[in-house]
Chain A
Amino acid sequence: MNKTLFSLFLLLGSGQAYSQLEITISGGETGAQPIAVVPFAADAAVPGDLAAVIEADLARTGLFKPLRREDMLEKPTQAAQVDYKNWSAVGVEHVVVGTLKTSAAGKGALSFELLDIVRGELNLNGEVAMQNAMRWRSTAHITADRIFEKLTGVRGVFDTQIAYVTAAGTGRKRLFQVIVADADGANPVTVASSREPLLSPAWSPDRKRLAYVGFEKGRSAIYIHTLATGELRKLTFERGINGAPAWSPDGRTLAVTMSFESNPDIYLVNVDSGKRQRLTEHYAIDTEPAWSPDGREIAFTSDRGGQPQIYTVSSSGGAARRLTFEGRQNLCADYSPDGGSMALINADEGVYRVGVLDLKTRSLRILSDGPLDESPSFAPNGAMLIYAAQGRKSAELATVSVDGRTRQRLTQAGDVREPAWSPIGR
């Protein structure tokens, strides 16, 4: 009966998880550019509807309004076939056409062309490889990234992933899982599963590993999980807290919270050797470390001033300086990819909301409504944030663009929490 309750199974690519995230969008419609993504030609059996995935990616940003297929007056698959009048007639400004070529082995490539209807000319063309039929969605996302970057000047993040934690069931049957899915919610894969809590999934900078916190027999530990192989390593498992793992930008060090020496403080742990170095030493709670993108500074949550606020300390040690002064509490820092701002949770009058602090001007913008928002994570292009929120029936994920205009909700059965957006690039 008293068997180990912490069991792990890695199901690579088979997408076996209880359910998939459903995404609903709100906001961003005014000023959205009308675009048409024409269904692609294919020389063999098509593994999936790539044009539909590209269309959905662009629509989710709130910056593009795709034309419905039934409203298309023609269905060209090459630039030479396009009659610009047919598109300007329905108000479309950009058209994407293409052909999917596949070989017998399932490898292939999508040849695509992006046309500027207003200027009447080709804007971009390219070829995106498809490693095998199972990776067809990635090919579509990479294409969408290229189109998005050409049209907005901003790097796309469609070909990225999110890690998150789900909790379902109650009492004896409560099951926690760490799940990795595509950024559009497709292909959820269970990375870890336990009847004891799982927390704080964190991507290594090379996207190959996840660190997370698990409990076993009443004790916590930080685990490093190699996604491709399923190899699992316990990195720290001292008495007390082992928590809040955060990878350094070079992937060699994890900043963590441990309390085994006195009370919760920040430690730096070498990922290979396990050698550790204490970074903060204070009788208050120090936790939730986050690295600046240049690796020089670590932000963390501390209640040394009475209530939790965000402080920074040099990653080579030294005195901590307080960073946040607005609101009753500030917690859970996440630096933007360019290091110029910081996402955080701001609490005032019992309401917890996502804010972004400009690190130069120190002005704070509140981006969400609360009341129980947590775990903000920047998209790797710095243009959006994903976070956890309390929905009407259960806990959900949500995204918001940094200008606050476009929002999405990502929901599934049970509670979803602790999202972490992967770095760019596989």
Chain B
Amino acid sequence: MKNYLILGAVILALVSAGCTATRGKKSSVERPSSSASGANDSFDANAGTAGAGAGEAPGTDSDADLAKRTVYFDLDRSEIRSDSLPVVEVWAKYLVANPSVKVRLEGHCDERGTREYNVALGERRSNSLQDALTSRGVGAGQLAVVSFGEERPLALGHDEAAWSQNRRAEIILQ
């Protein structure tokens, strides 16, 4: 609950103040280390907020949906699954409304296949997300792309239940 209030407050502060959220500059709200906005700790933040569902938060409905920042993919595919498109819509709207906000798009794969090929496949996925955002009006300068291949799984199992969670691209506030 505490994570969620902090997240909501940060987003409100960013949205209302329209402040520059580039690295090195502090916003008016102290960035908690476990929030989704931690740039260098993105992987750690991920582990922290994965369980924080889309509950009620201060502000409008779109602020609540910003907590969902992961899109999913089918095996060997780089087209965003249709059930992930609402996440794209919400973030595109937010980024268009806040052109000084920058995000990093991180692509991931499940563990099958070889590691370097999976880095390349992960980049296809984050590029796919980048295209989906720019085609909805987000400026290219707001988006950075990186792939971690299979190196940062969310789920550590060796079955489709785990693999489907790992085939993803995430939006990380910079």
Q: Is A324 an interface residue (CB 8 A)?
A: no
**Stretch binding the partner chain, chosen from A29-37, A126-134, A217-225:** A217-225
A174 to B23, CA, bound (A): 24
Residue of A nearest to B116 (CB): A244
Residue of A nearest to B151 (CB): A197
Q: Is B144 an interface residue (CB 8 A)?
A: yes
Contact A243 B116 (CB under 8 A): yes
Residue among A1, A374, A418 facing the most chain B CB atoms (10 A cut-off): A374
Residue of A nearest to B104 (CB): A218
Query: Which chain B residues (75-125) contact chain A, with CB distance < 8 Å?
Result: 76, 104, 106, 111-117, 119-121, 123-124
> How many residues of A are counted as interface, with CB atoms below 8 angstroms from the partner's CB atoms?
50
Chain B's interface: helix, strand, loop or mixed, by majority?
A: mixed
Query: Which chain A residues (385-425) contact chain B, with CB distance < 8 Å?
Result: 390, 417-418
Q: Is A119 an interface residue (CB 8 A)?
A: no
Contact A217 B40 (CB under 8 A): yes
User: Shortest CB–CB separation between residue B43 and chain A, in angstroms?
Assistant: 8
With A170-B156, A199-B151, A259-B120 as given contacts, are A350 and B112 in contact (CB-CB < 8 Å)? yes
Contact B115 A285 (CB under 8 A): no
With A200-B115, A375-B114 as given contacts, are A219 and B146 in contact (CB-CB < 8 Å)? yes
Contact A288 B111 (CB under 8 A): no
Q: Is B132 an interface residue (CB 8 A)?
A: no
Contact A301 B158 (CB under 8 A): no
The count of A-to-B residue pairs whose CB atoms sit within 8 angstroms is 114
Residue of A nearest to B46 (CB): A171
A345 to B112, CA, bound (A): 11
Contact B44 A331 (CB under 8 A): no
Pick the residue among B115, B120, B121, B151 that contacts A374 (CB under 8 A).
B115
Contact A331 B158 (CB under 8 A): no
Pick the residue among A4, A200, A352 that contacts B116 (CB under 8 A).
A200
Q: Is A380 an interface residue (CB 8 A)?
A: no
User: Shortest CB–CB separation between residue B42 and chain A, in angstroms?
Assistant: 7
Q: Is A257 an interface residue (CB 8 A)?
A: yes
Contact A218 B113 (CB under 8 A): no
The interface residues of chain B lying within 8 Å CB-to-CB of A332 are 114, 116-117
Q: Is B39 an interface residue (CB 8 A)?
A: yes
Pick the residue among A174, A239, A285, A352 that contacts B120 (CB under 8 A).
A285
Q: Is B4 an interface residue (CB 8 A)?
A: no
User: Shortest CB–CB separation between residue A417 and chain B, in angstroms?
Assistant: 8
A197 to B148, CA, bound (A): 8
Contact A372 B123 (CB under 8 A): no
The interface residues of chain B lying within 8 Å CB-to-CB of A12 are none
The interface residues of chain A lying within 8 Å CB-to-CB of B33 are 1
Residue of B nearest to A395 (CB): B111
With A240-B123, A285-B124 as given contacts, are A5 and B116 in contact (CB-CB < 8 Å)? no
Contact B156 A418 (CB under 8 A): no
- Of all A-B residue pairs in the complex, the 7 with the closest CB atoms, nearest first, are A171-B47, A197-B151, A172-B44, A285-B120, A264-B120, A244-B116, A332-B114
Interface contacts beyond A241-B123, A301-B117, A332-B114: sample of 9 additional A-B pairs, CB < 8 Å, sorted by A: A171-B44, A196-B43, A218-B104, A218-B106, A263-B123, A263-B124, A285-B117, A301-B114, A390-B158
Would you mind naming 5 contact pairs between A and B with Cβ atoms under 8 Å apart? A199-B116, A218-B144, A263-B123, A285-B121, A331-B117
